[in-house]
Amino acid sequence: MTRSILSTLALCLLSVVLLRAGLTRALVDDLLANEQKRPVTLRVWDWWSPSANEEYGQYFAEIERRFEEQNPDIDVVYQIVPFGNYVQKLSTAMVGNAPPDVFQSSVYWAEGFYQRGMLRPLNDLLEQNRHAPPELQVTEERFLPSAWRHNHGEDGTVFGIPQIIDAQCLIWNLDILQEAAQTDREIRALFAHHPDGRIDYARLRFDAVRDWDHFRRLTQKLTVRDESGQIEQAGFVINAYGGGAGMFSPWLAANGGRYQDAAGTRAHFASPEGVEAMRFMAQLYWEDGVCPPFRRQISDTELFQEGRVASMVAGTWSGKDLMRNTLGWDHFGKTAFPPGPSGSGEQKTMTWGNMLVITERCTNVDAAWRYVQFVCSLEGNLIRSQTLGYNGPRRDFYDTEQWQRAIAERPYLSNVKEICLAGDKLRHTEIIAVNHQANPVIETLLLRFPEIQAGRGPYAGIEEALRVAERNVNGVFDRYNEQVARWRQRGGSN
Amino acid sequence: MQKLLPYLYIAPAFVVTIVFSFVSMGISLWASFYHYDAFAGAAAFAGLDNYRRALFADDSYFWLSLRNTAFYVAMSVVGVLVTALPLALLCQRAERFQALFRTLYFLPSITPGVVLALVFYHLFGVWGQLLDNAWTALPALAILGIWSGAGYNMVIFLAGLTEIPRHFYEAAEIDGANRWQQFRHVTIPLLRNTLVFVSVMTIIGSFQVFTSVYIMTQGGPERSTEVIAYTIFVNAFAIAGQMGYASALAWLLFAVVFVFVFIQMRVFQSRRIYDE
């Protein structure tokens, strides 16, 4: 008897769980709402997950509300797909003939998607858009030049409209800097000034760090050791396991080098500039001793948030995450990367603009395009700024009162536009495959630099290691371009 | 009709197996001879190019990942045997709470691999940063594999031990054999079929290790944990147009596992020991 009651209870519980799991939000809304059905359903994919950050939920709700207000015939349905599984899921959706109408594409994949013929060219739609009011126009001249780089092919075919602009940057803990500035004139000189001449301890000058020697000196000054010589507070942080490879690109750019050519046919990082950049990174850790020990399980961001490092490499987007993780702490500042000995003398970084794209198989292009225009319009940019704290890729965004207010409230945003403009184009050809070839080599160089310098490592030197990585990356490019040629032969690409 | 009935009973499972195992395998074999892309479909016939590239190209990580996988398999097989069998022996001797011990040891086997990998990721960070070093990362992953597999294999061994007739031990005792001699000359030979089964299954499972690598190390540091299943995954799903190459790698893995298992089965041919 007891057993049968328990079995029935278990069955009921299981049914409830399965039923709840099977009811999507859209279905629940449909069941509960009295709203009239809209004739057009627009499926939109994104990786900004409300489960990772509730602000994304607020953002999508606001976009959906305002867009549907302006377009009563369209019902927007969002599907959140994790970044790491995006390509696999999209692949499955394409093969299963159920792709989204619109999706946010990272620059990691956009070029590849276009070359496979998956994305709808937008040139005809952009031509019509020229006649729209300025704040609704999404043509090239409306965007910062560094945002309009990854969204078109060499032949001028546009396949995406930038919805954000991101750049890698150096982030500085201003609590640490301000304290050091009390006794050190060189560190004091990093800060901007108020109009009345007082030091503004909430803002850094964009060109605060002059060059690599200056950076090394600063990080040495900001490194504090205990009596036993252990680092209590580090000047800078490098995570050799994966993350270190990521910062190679901006340091390389700052030293006048390039990772790859524009056409994606050749890698260029095994150049004298690349060797210099790699040596500089390794020296910061091994010779200057300004970094905490390499630890896989502890991220740069965690160390920074705990106030254990004075500076780290992150993205221009990361301010809101830092604030969220530290319950509101915003006393940090951002700069681009100082020029290296072979650099142009200007601050540099890598910039990119992730974009909204329309799939080739989208059945309602008009609705999709209306959505893209709205999200990439000035209004869309302002909603992202308001809900997510992001700066925008549009030129007119920076003229708005809202942006000025955002800078006043969160001074860490003050250099963001200049940083984005200072960036070279982020490498864009088969990034994951390239990472698979090059990153382990950079990891080895960082982890075993002293051995390699002494001629006992797995490579004869930095030059040889980078040459091996470059040769393998060129293999990736060769195979990829052969593949693109085959797609073109089959009429896949446009 | 009566004769057809058994076939009808097995038909659903048969159809599922055919469609989701053999047809899929057939497609992957076919794809391995093409420059195949999941988005765009097959592009051009590649012949043996994908296999040639895997085996001979400068930038191929097939041999490196096979070597890493082989080390992992060796550590796992030895580790599982030296933990699961003693656990089974101890459990068999436990007069009370045997079911409780069995359940406790079995728990890791039913815990999702991702959860275990995340827990051990942080544990290994605390215990001497095992994942940070190219020499210790692979053994650390093997420790996780052994820990999560020991309970399951213990249950298999326990079933094998209970099948050994009691009178063999009684005879050995009368002949004056001590515990070790009983284990060496009675338990081990009579457990032979179970040992073969456990080691074959562990070898097959270990050759396919993926979750822990994907979650904990992504093949690093310095490619020291890049195992073949991970290499296949990266090529299949993360790199454009490499599904054919990944399929070729998968079939090479199949060939290696097949050879291993075939040799093992020949060497330790299963037989009815008690009749000898």
Helices (H), A224-292: 243-246, 248-254, 272-286
pLDDT for A493 equals 44
Per-residue pLDDT tens for B141-156? 999 999 999 999 999 9
Strands A191-193 and A161-162: unpaired
**Counting one residue from A and one from B, how many pairs have CB atoms under 8 Å apart?**
98
Decide if B35 and A298 are in contact by the 8 Å CB cutoff.
no
Chain A residues with CB inside 8 Å of B43's CB?
A: 483, 486-487, 489-490
Give the best residue of B49, B50, B59 to mutate against chain A (max A CB count within 10 A): B59
pLDDT for A93 equals 86
pLDDT for A32 equals 57
Cβ–Cβ contact B114 with A under 8 A: no
pLDDT for A28 equals 56
Q: How far apart are CA A400 and CA A405, in angstroms?
A: 9
Chain B residues with CB inside 8 Å of A449's CB?
A: none
Per-residue pLDDT tens for A8-35? 787 777 777 666 665 555 555 555 555 5
Q: How far apart are CA B198 and CA B268, in angstroms?
A: 12
Per-residue pLDDT tens for B194-252? 998 999 899 999 999 999 999 999 998 989 999 999 999 988 887 777 889 999 999 99
- Considering Cα of A145, then A149, then A154, then A158, what sign does the dihedral take? negative
Task: Give the DSSP letter string of A1-57.
Answer: -HHHHHHHHHHHHHHHHHHHHH--HHHHHHHH--PPPPSEEEEEEE---TTT-HHHH
Q: Provide the chain A residues 407-436 that lie in CB contact (below 8 A) with chain B.
A: 430, 432-433, 436
Shortest Cα distance, chain A CAs vs residue B51, angstroms: 15
Q: Quick one: which H or E segment has residue A432?
A: helix A431-447
Decide if B58 and A297 are in contact by the 8 Å CB cutoff.
no
Angle subtended at Cα A97 by Cα A92 and Cα A102, rounded to the nearest 5 degrees: 85
Shortest Cα distance, chain B CAs vs residue A347, angstroms: 32
Decide if A479 and B121 are in contact by the 8 Å CB cutoff.
no
Cβ–Cβ contact A325 with B under 8 A: no
Cβ-nearest to A296 among B43, B132, B223: B132
pTM equals 0.86
Cβ–Cβ contact B35 with A under 8 A: yes
Cβ–Cβ contact A80 with B under 8 A: no
Among A256, A383, A475, A255, CA closest to B235:
A475
Name the β-bridge partners of A172.
A311, A333
**What is chain B's alpha carbon radius of gyration, rounded to the nearest angstrom?**
22
Among A111, A148, A121, CA closest to A433:
A111
Q: How far apart are CA A59 and CA A70, in angstroms?
A: 17
Q: Please report how many Cα atoms fall inside a 13 Å half-sphere around the Cα of residue B129, on the Cβ side.
A: 11
Task: Give the DSSP letter string of A46-89.
Answer: E---TTT-HHHHHHHHHHHHHHHHH-TTEEEEEEE--GGGHHHH
Mean pLDDT, chain A, whole residue set: 90
Mutual angle of helices B243-267 and B49-56, in 10-degree steps: 70
Burial class (CB in 10 A: 0-12, 13-18, 19+), A140: middle
Shortest Cα distance, chain A CAs vs residue B43, angstroms: 6
Residue B35 one-letter amino acid: H
Cβ-nearest to A297 among B39, B125, B239: B125
Give the best residue of A81, A297, A447, A488 to mutate against chain B (max B CB count within 10 A): A297
Decide if A297 and B122 are in contact by the 8 Å CB cutoff.
yes
Coil, strand, or helix at residue A294? coil
Among A275-279, B257-261, B264-268, name the one with the lowest average pLDDT: B264-268
Decide if A486 and B44 are in contact by the 8 Å CB cutoff.
yes
pLDDT in 10s for each residue of chain A, 494 residues: 667 777 778 777 777 766 666 555 555 555 555 556 778 999 999 999 988 888 999 999 999 999 999 999 999 999 999 988 888 888 788 878 889 999 999 998 898 889 888 899 999 999 999 998 888 899 999 999 999 999 998 889 999 999 999 999 999 999 999 999 999 999 999 999 999 999 999 999 999 999 999 999 999 999 999 999 899 999 999 988 876 678 999 999 999 999 999 888 999 999 999 999 999 999 999 999 999 999 888 889 999 999 999 999 999 999 988 998 999 999 999 999 999 999 999 999 999 999 999 999 898 999 999 999 999 999 999 999 999 989 999 999 999 999 999 999 999 999 999 999 999 998 888 888 899 899 999 999 999 999 999 989 899 999 999 999 999 999 999 988 888 888 887 764 44
Chain A residues with CB inside 8 Å of B222's CB?
A: 440, 443-444, 447-448, 458
**Which pair of structure tokens corresponds to residue A492?**
């896949």
Burial class (CB in 10 A: 0-12, 13-18, 19+), A31: exposed
Percent pLDDT > 90 in chain B is 62
Cβ–Cβ contact B221 with A under 8 A: yes
